[in-house]
A and B are shown apart, each in its own frame.
Chain A
């Protein structure tokens, strides 16, 4: 099979202005991937499937990745005008000062496709696409018209990550119900408060239990007596 650089060159020759970028993978597997520009992704996908040498006719896996907003602290050297009084005379001089600045790197949602060739018995070629942000601009082109096997997987990504695939023939929630509003696989997803006692109490469970009991006490105070409530359990002190 062609190397990732050769594939990139082939794509750029076939689809002018495709804007393909190699994402290197430093691990021993060396499974580098290609990041596609969403605006050209559809043509690129068609080329990858129809090209006689690549013939990537099988999409085995599509998955999502959530990159949350990240706060980055970095040290920046800043030149500053400093006014000093030397021997009664005011002088202004430039000084280089190190300053640590915090900035929020905006997050995004990413989708990853793994392609194989059944005809040529090679693969995988990994494609990636990123959305602009995580909130209101989460549209990506659907590759279902190119590889039919993406249909259910893209629906699942839409359901669990909230990426909207334009051009998908039937974009509905797959696993959760239609009225459900959240996207459970996102990093900032908040679980519903339906905690109950668990004997395997590790840190996360204890935190959820504490949050639940706090909520329960507030609800109990306003709702009044609940039949059968307030059982004393084994798990107590």
Chain B
């Protein structure tokens, strides 16, 4: 429906909406994050939920201690290779629709530990990430910005056709393989279906 017509009707006391709009409004206004923190970014995440920054304004104050009740996973901190299988397993245990925010330099790329042997170089190697927040750690405002970005993304999702969310697509992949802790590294070292080969190396010949 045309936006102008909708406003005009609204002035006359007639409110019109679509199922899609209503459905997405409901979803985006009650994103329940999973209650788990990995490193120092978690402190900023906790600060975001408290009175000063008040994540409750976005309907996201209910941090669920169980993945079964959560809609959003905030990867708040360094994902070590020891922890990575558990993070992927928790993500698999979440019910659809589910979203991921990778918070901070470590979660999106390994951050200052990128050249280490023990840190995963970004959680997006194994699970699809909806919003990346740079920063070390990002301020609460940045997390709120990410929340709003995610809300916009949910708002823009169509219920049918191409690009519909994963939970409405019977053929979409809902479970992601959990990496195995091998003798030298995680096996495989990335899930090529969600994490394509990164851009070419910066070697200048």
Residues of chain A at the chain B interface (Cβ within 8 Å):
175-182, 184, 189, 191-199, 201, 204-206, 209-210, 212-213, 216, 226-237
Contact = CB atoms under 8 A, between A and B. Distances in A.
B199 interface: yes
Q: Which interface class (under 10, 10 to 19, 20 to 34, 35 or more) fits B?
A: 20 to 34
B201 A209 contact: yes
B118 A184 contact: yes
Given A199-B202, A205-B115, 7 more contacts: A177-B181, A180-B184, A184-B117, A196-B109, A198-B202, A204-B115, A226-B192
B117 A235 contact: no
B4 interface: no
B185 A194 contact: yes
A227 B193 contact: yes
Can you list the 4 inter-chain pairs with the closest CB atoms, starting with the nearest?
A: A233-B199, A228-B196, A192-B185, A235-B202
Q: A184, A192, A199, A213: which has the most chain B beta carbons within 10 Å?
A: A192
Contact of B199 (A181, A204, A231): A231
Interface string B55-88: 0000000000000000000000000011000000
Contacts of A198: 114-115, 202
Interface in B164-199: 181-185, 189-190, 192-193, 196-199
Tell me if B's interface is mostly helix, strand, loop or mixed: loop
Contacts of A206: 203
B121 interface: yes
Contacts of A235: 199-202
11 contacts: A175-B82, A177-B81, A179-B182, A180-B183, A181-B183, A184-B118, A192-B184, A192-B189, A193-B189, A196-B121, A228-B196
Contacts of B193: 227-228
A138 to B, nearest CB: 19
A229 B82 contact: no
B205 interface: yes
Contacts of B109: 196
B204 interface: yes
Nearest to B184: A192
A232 B201 CA distance: 10
Q: B82, B115, B121, B200: which has the most chain A beta carbons within 10 Å?
A: B200
B192 A227 contact: yes
Nearest to B197: A229
A209 B203 contact: yes
A194 B118 contact: no
Interface string B133-164: 00000000000000000000000000000000
